[in-house]
Structure 1
Amino acid sequence: MQNMAFGQVYRADSPILVATPHTGTAIPDDLLQHPAWVPIAGRLADPAGIALQAAAGRHGASVVSALYHPCVIDFNIATDTGPLSPRLNRGGLCRTHTSRGESLYGADGQLPEAEVERRVDRYWRPFHAAVTSELVRLRQMHENVLLLVTHASSWLSPFRNQAGASDCNVGTNQGASCDRQLVSTLTGIVKSCGHSWVVNGKVADVFCAQRYGMPENGIHAIEVEIAGRWRAELEIDARDTVDRKPDAAMDALLEALMKTLRRLPRAEAVSAAAFEDANGHA
């Protein structure tokens, strides 16, 4: 396990890389001087990411995880998006309000652009450099590799209604980011575990799938957002830090995806330089 400024990197040898951009709970000390940030510290946005990280450790999968709370910096947002509203700085890259609508930066809710860029340089770019580097390493070992990203974008936003959400929301950039056999495997496991699912619904075009999916070159990317009953169950498990129970669905999911990856046809190789160049920009 390697500790980095943005979080942690754990390198293993299976063809799966798990990325958890929204599992961070830490708040930088300078922000904790503002009262609005104090209750955010330790507030877990993505309990599914914690469960998937644990499963990755049991199944020899690599992990890139976040240290800081996604309200500080959101690794699943592009850096070149403009502000969508006064409450979303650069499209949510550095949130100015919590998921409960609480202002994090005083009455005007503004964050200087220079501070956004500082966080991008210190945290965002190194996080994605680590993801890219690990995918290159794994692709050199395996004919097909999978980046599996779990996140909580909808849960973090105060503008989306969570009522009626499926237990598992799958994003594949409208099918362009991965082989369809991997999606069938994922949804089959989810269904067999008694959870509901939807593919390319509200998380159809999330950032990591768009950025990293190159199935024609053996690099697949799938994003999952766990909601509904499954999220509620994982939240209960996440609070038990001493005697946390493994999530059977996460274990079954990784096992099945690894088997499917090994059955996929050989893909055209991509050089490390070409992949890094394709993914070196926001």
Structure 2
Amino acid sequence: MQKPAYGEVIRGGAPILVATPHTGVIVPADLKAHETWKPIDGRLSDPAGVALLAAARERDVTTIAAAVHPCVIDFNVALDSRPLSQRLNRTGLCRTHTSRGEALYAPGFEPSEADVEARVEHYWRPFHAALTAELLRLREMHGNVLLLTSHASSWLSPYRTHSGTTDCNAGTHQGASCDRRLVSALTEAVQGLGRSWVVNGKLADVFAAQRYGMPANGIHVIEVEVAGRWRNDFESPEHGNDGEMRDVLDALSRALDSMPPADARFDAFLVADRPAA
């Protein structure tokens, strides 16, 4: 069966869903026809997400992985997060510049609203429809499920800074998207690996946590960005990091197992159609 344009779903039975919206490396043929896009094809933005996918598949954890490069369309940006001018869109839904500040389009040829909407229909909506469907499937099986989203938003921004960056940045929509026990399990696991961490710093109001987090209904969301020295390790071919991601998943699994089933009524409509806060 042909894979969907946005990427790939591999179903598991564990109560965790790993989504990696920024692991895609493919640039569509129509964009590769432009010289500025050719160096982007195959350029990986989220190496930690690739390691997380590998660890998840060893643990019977469902994964949804992007195939298309996040500069083409960013699956972790809300549809209403479009700038007033597409020419200034360096960090939104369809970027006009790479993480290195390279212009992806000639002046005056940035994607129009129609171009953006076409990418939304072809990639973004199917990605989130699959994510919603898998959350619903897993919630039918378990009293609590966790959506763990790995991304590289800061790395993709041409305005990023490297000095003093924390190794692990976690976002929970200011604590509203998940049970505190899951956050503790994550941070303790990360600290046990000798990595620094911060919760609800620069990832305080990230999209997936706002859109999908409903802990009272048994759907918990944590977003994670690996940065700093930890990201450098993931980029080193000599350094194996799948084991670290296995430790993180195992800690989260134990925390989920210790939690009582959610009591609140579960309504699929809330997940599928409610807008981000």
Counterpart amino acid of 2:260? P
Contact 2:82 2:93 in 1 (8 A): no
Residues in 2 aligned to 1:95 and 1:109: alpha-carbon distance in whole angstroms: 13
Q: Quote the residue 1:203 is aligned against.
A: 203
Instruction: Specify the SS of the correspondent of 1:71.
Output: coil
Q: Quote the residue 2:50 is aligned against.
A: 50
Instruction: Specify the SS of the correspondent of 2:38.
Output: helix
Q: Quote the residue 1:19 is aligned against.
A: 19
The answer as to 2:88 corresponding to 1:92 is no
Residues in 2 aligned to 1:80 and 1:101: alpha-carbon distance in whole angstroms: 24
The answer as to 2:161 corresponding to 1:161 is yes
Residues in 2 aligned to 1:109 and 1:204: alpha-carbon distance in whole angstroms: 33
Counterpart amino acid of 2:157? S
The answer as to 2:259 corresponding to 1:252 is no
For residues 150-205 of structure 1, what are the alpha-carbon distances to aligned partners after superposition, in whole Å with 9 as ceiling and x for unaligned?
00000000122222110000000000000010000000000000000000001111
Q: Quote the residue 2:267 is aligned against.
A: 271
TM-score, scaled to structure 1:
0.93
Unaligned runs of 5+ in 2: none
The answer as to 2:75 corresponding to 1:80 is no
Instruction: Specify the SS of the correspondent of 1:92.
Output: coil
TM-score, scaled to structure 2:
0.94
Cα RMSD after superposing both structures: 1.9
Count of equivalent residues: 276
Residues 4 and 86 from structure 1, CA distance in 2 versus in 1: closer, same or farther, beyond 3 angstroms? closer
Residues in 2 aligned to 1:265 and 1:278: alpha-carbon distance in whole angstroms: 26
Unaligned runs of 5+ in 1: none
- Offset at 1:89? 3.2
- Offset at 1:84? 5.8
Residues in 2 aligned to 1:107 and 1:150: alpha-carbon distance in whole angstroms: 32
- Offset at 1:88? 4.2
Contact 2:218 2:261 in 1 (8 A): yes
Q: Quote the residue 2:28 is aligned against.
A: 28
Residues in 2 aligned to 1:137 and 1:175: alpha-carbon distance in whole angstroms: 24
Identify the range of structure 1 (29-38 vs 266-275) with the bigger mean alpha-carbon deviation: 266-275
Contact 1:2 1:10 in 2 (8 A): no
Counterpart amino acid of 1:257? L
Residues in 2 aligned to 1:41 and 1:82: alpha-carbon distance in whole angstroms: 24
For residues 19-75 of structure 1, what are the alpha-carbon distances to aligned partners after superposition, in whole Å with 9 as ceiling and x for unaligned?
000000000001011000010011000001100000001111000110111000000
Residues in 1 aligned to 2:110 and 2:22: alpha-carbon distance in whole angstroms: 22
- Offset at 1:265? 2.0
Identify the range of structure 1 (115-124 vs 76-85) with the bigger mean alpha-carbon deviation: 76-85
Residues in 1 aligned to 2:75 and 2:187: alpha-carbon distance in whole angstroms: 25
Contact 1:103 1:109 in 2 (8 A): no
For residues 213-235 of structure 1, what are the alpha-carbon distances to aligned partners after superposition, in whole Å with 9 as ceiling and x for unaligned?
00010100000000011101111
The answer as to 2:126 corresponding to 1:126 is yes
Identity level (%): 60
The answer as to 2:102 corresponding to 1:102 is yes
